A and B are shown apart, each in its own frame.
Chain A
Amino acid sequence: MMRLDTVRLRILGGLALLGATVVSIALFSAYALRTVRRSEEAQLETVRRSGTVGNGIAASVFQEIAAGQQYLVTPTASERGQFQDAADESFAFAQELERLPGLTLEQRLSVNRIRELQGSIEVGYAMAHALRDLGRDAEASARAAAVLNPATELTRLVRTLTAALAQAAHRTEQGIAAEMARWEAYLYLGLVLAVVATALAGYGTLQAVEGPLGRIVVAAERFGEADLRPVTTGRMPREIQILADAMQQMGGRLRGIVADVISESERIAASAGDLSAISEQLAASASEVTTAMVETSRGAQGQRVELDAIGAGLAQLRQTTAEMAEGAERVALLGEEIRTVASRHRSSVASASSVLLDVREVVQTTSHQVSQLAQQTAAIDDFVDLIRRISSQTNLLALNAAIEAARAGEHGRGFAVVAEEVRQLADDAARAAADVTVTTNAIREQVEDVTATMAAGTAKVRGIEDVAGGAARGLGEIATAVEQVEQAAARVAKTAQQNRDLTERLQERAQGVASQAVAHASSAEQVSAAAQEQGASTEEMAATTGRLLQAAEKLRSLVRGFRV
């Protein structure tokens, strides 16, 4: 058996039961009524038709007999016509009788007999009429009399048949009535069953809904009173079970949440204290950061100045390098000139060498003559030496006289003047001797110079030759050296160029670094501002933390009311 474990199923089941019962009762009633109606219709039709036909056949046979008898008395065409019409009518009724529905075999045979009798009555009278027409009245009367028996039998059969049909109809009606009574009983039984089933279904549904709902209401009220301990609800319909499960789940979740809230509020209180301390530290740190950032800003500015100086130095360096490059270019130009001059001089030296060979001859001759002159000057020297020794003696005497004159005083004046005059004469003589010495020396020197010059000239000429050769070689070397100088100058120029590029880059970089330094400085200023703001925020945080602490305390006092 299916368990009715949902309210929906119970209600649907109840309704379906009720509906099915009602529909069955309705169908049953409709069927019963229709059966009764049809059966009654058929029966009524049979009874009606059998009554009509039975009466009709009996009446028409009587009429036929009456007309037949009448014709025997007054044989007129109209009487005969009436007889024939009655006979035809009677035959038609008999025909209809045969076609009655629902006849038993016995009744059909009875109908056949009725028709037979009906025919023999007709023929009997027709024959009697013929005999009457032929004037054979006795035979006619006998024929007519013979009709009476069949007529009696026919009447009896018709009555029997009609009565049998009526009785059958009555029996059927009785059967129908009995069946109706039975159906009525079934109907009442069905109704009672429907009522009982509906009442049971309703009661069961109410029971299934009310009890569990009450338990759930109690549970809900406990939740309302902050009692979140688990609730037991017992067995219940599925829909309410879902509700109860939801309540249980809700209670469980609330319990968990409240427990969490309690522990969390403790933690929040603790955390708020920690947070307060941290926010103070943070405020201190923020001011330190501000200071540090101000210094950083300053340092960045200094850095920028230094970098500017580096930039200037580098600019100077670049200028110098440019000059160096220019110098190198000039060196190169000079080298070119030197090379030109050297080559020109080398040809001059060659022509000078040939001249020098002639000069060497002249010099050797002159040198010999000068040596002779030098020997003559030696005699002059001796004379001069004598004069210089006299003058020196004189000068010494003049000096002694002047000393004596000074001792004589006024009386020696006059002598002093003579002594002076004598000294001046000695000086003059010495000066003249010196002049002669000088002149002699000059001559000697000149002779020696000439000699030396001669010798030197010779040597010089030789030397000049060597020099000329050397000059020629030197000029060659100079050309070589000039080339090397040019190469060196070119390298210098190249290097200078590289230096200039490098310098330019360095300068750019220095500028970049400088602008970065500027940026650093401004960043540092921003950081410093931010740090100051942070300081303010931290103060706010401290205030908030205070409020948080108060809230945590309040929360703790609130959740203390729950029973979990």
Chain B
Amino acid sequence: MRQAARLAVEQVNVRGGVRGRRLRLRVADDSGSEDAAVRAAQALYDDPGVAAVIGHLSSGTSIAAAQVYGGGAHPLVMLSPSASSPELSGINPYVFSICPTDASYGEALARFAWRALGARRAGLIFLSNDYGRGVRDAFAADFVRLGGTVVEQDPYVPTTASLEPYLARMQRAGIDVLVLAAERPGAELALREMQALGLRWPVVGGDALTGIEAAGALAEGLHVTSAYLPDQPGARNVPFVADYARAYPGELPDHRGAGAYDAVLLLAQAMAASGPDRQAIRDYLAQVGRGRPPFHGVTGTIAFDTAGADPTKSVIIGVVRKGRLVTEATQ
């Protein structure tokens, strides 16, 4: 995400910047912690040089930080490339999201498990936060609607040391797909313990798992939903992937990076049109897709609804093949 944003900023500045001024990228780390997210948000909010925020990466931190950005006398736009919680949309007028919501991810997972995997009994492990619960609820609702059964819905928190009891109980109950409404550490824990238990269920997960392909054999064959995959075709995506690979040899952008890249370019366009004022940027973004033409980025077309969400974004299913996340042929 940071790398893609930096690439986008460099490209904008090479072309002359915005209104003759160079864009500057200020990077803050919330470490996935809501505490850190609130602190970082406050720091960014208090810096008058900050025109807009791209982030945060996850839904929980985004929701926590959104409260900071949207309050006070000089509210600041938060444009998240990857926070998918439906709780985020409409939380306040300064929050925009360019990725699909958890509902879309959950629905896509349920459809994929039912159709492509032929699963009928699903076991589900979810991170007990906004994201995990969001994916859980969306998946369960759609899977049951399709005719399947959610055998288990088991929570975990980042401090949870082992998921073995859940897996063991699922093994006993009998499932034909494991849904990980989790983040990478929890998912890797589950996969490791699955391996230890000798379990071979097909495993599907949400977009939060993106990057897990680097975990090697553990993740091989894992299906994840995503708003973006680098092997997607597209007039804008192909040069983006090439540029990214040139800038960061041997690496490919993920959906967060692609989202951040689009976010930078969209904000540059907003500032070119309306200036670097926080409120002007917010008003410009609110009109994208409603009064102004939609933005065509590497992740596809971006258009906001009244809640700052992007309902046009579709979800694709990727699969880890030989350490790479590629588009699954059978969607």
Contact = CB atoms under 8 A, between A and B. Distances in A.
Nearest to A130: B165
B153 A84 contact: yes
Interface in A390-420: none
Given A84-B153, A112-B35, A126-B154, A91 B166 contact: no
A559 interface: no
- Chain B interface residue count: which class? 20 to 34
B165 to A, nearest CB: 4
Nearest to B67: A99
Contacts of A109: 35, 38
Contact of A95 (B35, B87, B153, B168): B87
B173 to A, nearest CB: 9
Looking at chain B's contact residues, the main secondary structure is helix
A119 B155 contact: yes
Interface string A120-139: 10110011001101101001
Contacts of A87: 155
Chain A interface size band reads 20 to 34
A22 to B, nearest CB: 34
Given A98-B63, A130-B169, A131-B165, A108 B157 contact: no
B172 interface: yes
B64 interface: yes
Contacts, number: 62
Interface stretch (B98-106, B125-133, B200-208, B279-287): B125-133
A298 to B, nearest CB: 124
Contacts of B159: 116, 120
B38 A123 contact: no
A136 B64 CA distance: 38
Contacts of B67: 98-99, 108
B165 A127 contact: yes
Nearest to B166: A130
B160 interface: yes
A2 interface: no
Given A91-B128, A91-B133, A98-B64, A116 B157 contact: yes
Nearest to B156: A123
A84 B126 CA distance: 13
A134 B168 contact: yes
A88 B129 CA distance: 11
B292 to A, nearest CB: 31
Contacts of A127: 160, 165-166
A1 interface: no
B176 interface: no
Contact of A119 (B128, B153, B165): B128
A122 B159 CA distance: 12
Report the 9 A-B pairs with minimum CB-CB distance, sorted nearest first. Answer: A130-B165, A119-B157, A119-B128, A130-B169, A112-B34, A131-B165, A123-B155, A123-B157, A133-B169
16 contacts: A88-B133, A98-B67, A101-B71, A105-B39, A112-B34, A115-B129, A116-B157, A119-B129, A120-B157, A126-B155, A126-B166, A127-B160, A130-B154, A130-B166, A133-B172, A134-B165
